[in-house]
Homo-oligomer: A and B are copies of this chain.
């Protein structure tokens, strides 16, 4: 029934089964668990010692501490597998989870499962988090044909362990992908705030729509184009680069670092397209004059740099204006800063037709 969502403590799970006898049959099948680290994970920047971290930060000592911490979060990672199980369950733990005012716990420390159906990726279930460790049913009562699944991991937590459960007697297989890779470096919006679940972060939505592997290099509040961070990003093997990092930097920082960042990526990855975005207009800026002035200054700074690059016909460089990407009814944000699912959907609807021709040209 439409309640506030099943809590997935072991106790609540048992209560649920007791209260809903029709579920007993499916759950009577014993679940067998697989360590998700043995399955293919998409969205990885690197192969890492900790399987669900984005970067082995010990290798990049010069990066700021906040950036290092954020790259231990599993934002944008997704476990890819196929199974004929009629139900899929999960057990997972996160390190020192935090509650954020503008994020659901499902987004910050939960799981989000998609199934491939009728040629498209389709939502099929979430893992509702408890405190540090959680377990629960992601989906059940399916037929027993083999299906492909993508399981998106928490966007604002360090995931320390994940096991995927299937019916006893069924099988699970890793589903390696060999897709072209698009690195997206950006702010909390790139990382996934305020998607209601991990699969609704905009790089994940673009992966499903375009069939490329969008690598989420979003770092909430910390996308400040520091040379040490750009050097790390240049070690990531990717086929295209999207830069959505203006929102986190003052106009002075944009002037100081943006051109250096673009030049460094060009030098490290000649022939690969670089797509620079200006900052979306914050909803708060329609009522707060200082926020309004700040966003205008940020965008004037990057406009000037990008237009100079376009004027001199810089090869493989593209600049996109995100003005209007959240719609015009002011309903597309959670908090005046971060797109909600409505704003994010509109953002993707506007961004996709602009980047698709560029990516299709380079990524064949």
Contact = CB atoms under 8 A, between A and B. Distances in A.
Contacts of A194: 104, 196
A335 B22 contact: no
Given A99-B99, A196-B102, A288-B139, A128 B335 contact: yes
Given A104-B104, A287-B115, A338 B5 contact: yes
19 contacts: A2-B193, A2-B223, A2-B337, A3-B220, A4-B103, A4-B193, A23-B290, A101-B126, A106-B334, A115-B287, A123-B287, A123-B333, A141-B291, A194-B196, A200-B331, A340-B342, A341-B342, A341-B343, A342-B345
Nearest to A222: B3
Interface in A170-201: 187-189, 193-194, 196-197, 200
A1 B248 contact: yes
Interface of A: 1-5, 7-8, 22-23, 26, 99-106, 110, 115, 117, 122-126, 128-129, 139-143, 156, 187-189, 193-194, 196-197, 200, 205, 220-221, 223, 247-249, 283-284, 286-291, 294, 330-338, 340-345
This chain's copy number in the assembly: 2
A141 B285 CA distance: 10
Contacts of A341: 196, 331-332, 334, 340-343
A94 to B, nearest CB: 13
A104 to B, nearest CB: 6
Contact of A196 (B1, B140, B143, B340): B340
Contact of A110 (B101, B141, B287, B332): B101
A105 B101 contact: yes
B247 A286 contact: no
Contact of A126 (B110, B123, B128, B336): B336
Given A123-B336, A335-B106, A336-B125, A5 B101 contact: yes
Contacts of A335: 5, 106, 126, 128, 197
